[in-house]
Amino acid sequence: MKGLVYKSTGSWYKVRSHKGNFIVCRLKGKLRIKGLKVTNPVSVGDIVEIEMEKGKETGLISKIDTRKNYLIRKSVNLSKQYHIIASNIDQAVLVATVTQPNTLNEFIDRFLVSVTAYNIPAVILVNKLDVYEDEHLNRLADWNSIYTNAGYTILPISVEKEINLDKVKKLFKGKTTVLSGNSGVGKSSLLKKLLPNEEIAVKEISEMHQQGVHTTTFAEMYDLPNGGHLIDTPGIRGIGVVDIEPKELSNYFPEFLKLKPFCKFNNCVHINEPNCAVKKALDEGEIALSRYNSYLSIFNNDQEENYR
């Protein structure tokens, strides 16, 4: 019987069967995924084949369907292993704030590079609009033009004052959305608003944040009341950039990619080459300096920890 994985806690999986009931499952033997060294063979969002254990209420996962896509990050301690955050995703949403806390541009850009590299549409929700003063609104306007120009969706919201939440609901309807963001930006508050029937689960998540020790907590999927799924990623502050070749990096900055055909060299990395269309656009203010600086930092493999 087919099922959809809603949660994994290492050895146990919460799977919704095609009949609609939840079944606690284990893996049947060792499931291996070709070509990818992962710490978790099954992730939230996976479609799996399950068999009921004889005489029990529990099930066994015997097969994982081919994934449409997935997001991964490097495992915290095992640098050559990966952790699959979630699979079969329609869009990735980053909750950011101009103030309380101040989300760094580079943090946003690293998020965008990773999801863009996996071909997953990205949305930035800028929360706490209700407390923004002039300087914050200026920065919001900058973000708005930078990220709209780059081809991403950006929407200012206030979870507390319920500004633009109808648009958020529309954006999420019928889709599987991964929600990400630094702690303090209002991600749990947003979940609570969108999932009025999941109070207990959301409370658990915010308690985890306060403890701050659950660095390897697993993602969990929730059903949205009007169709679609939300995947929360507690403890995963950034999706991060994993294994992108420096020479390919500019492909994941859409506004750079558009200009690449106009660079003199077809393998231009837009740093020291002459007649580079990206550098020219930067000089002319058509490409944002913050985007270019993020590009350089990721290109030079600067440590991600500095930008959280």
In angstroms, the Cα distances linking 46 to 5, 65, 201, 226, 297 are: 5, 7, 21, 21, 33
In angstroms, the Cα distances linking 253 to 10, 27, 64, 97, 204 are: 34, 39, 32, 22, 36
Pick what 282 binds: ligand GDP, Zn ion, none; C-beta below 5 to 8 Å, kind-dependent: none
Question: Binding segment for Zn ion among 71-79, 87-95, 211-219, 261-269 (CB under 5 A)?
Answer: 261-269
Question: Binding segment for Zn ion among 54-62, 130-138, 264-272, 280-288 (CB under 5 A)?
Answer: 264-272
Angle at 85 between CA 140 and CA 27, to 5 degrees: 165
Partners of residue 223 on adjacent β-strands: 229
Q: According to the binding rule CB under 6 A, does residue 184 interact with ligand GDP?
A: yes
Q: According to the binding rule CB under 6 A, does residue 121 interact with ligand GDP?
A: no
Token pair listed for 299 = 């290109």
Question: Binding segment for ligand GDP among 68-76, 114-122, 152-160, 170-178 (CB under 6 A)?
Answer: 152-160
Q: Which of 83, 110, 128, 136 binds ligand GDP (CB under 6 A)?
A: 128
Instruction: Please identify, using beta-carbon distances, which residue of 157 and 268 lies nearer to Zn ion.
Output: 268
Q: According to the binding rule CB under 6 A, does residue 160 interact with ligand GDP?
A: yes
Q: According to the binding rule CB under 5 A, does residue 278 interact with Zn ion?
A: yes
Q: According to the binding rule CB under 5 A, does residue 231 interact with Zn ion?
A: no
Residues ≥6 apart with Cβ < 8 Å to 272: none
Helices (H), 118-267: 134-149, 165-172, 187-194, 199-211, 254-257
Q: Using CB under 5 A as the criterion, which residues of the chain lie in contact with Zn ion when the complex forms? A: 263, 268, 270, 276, 278
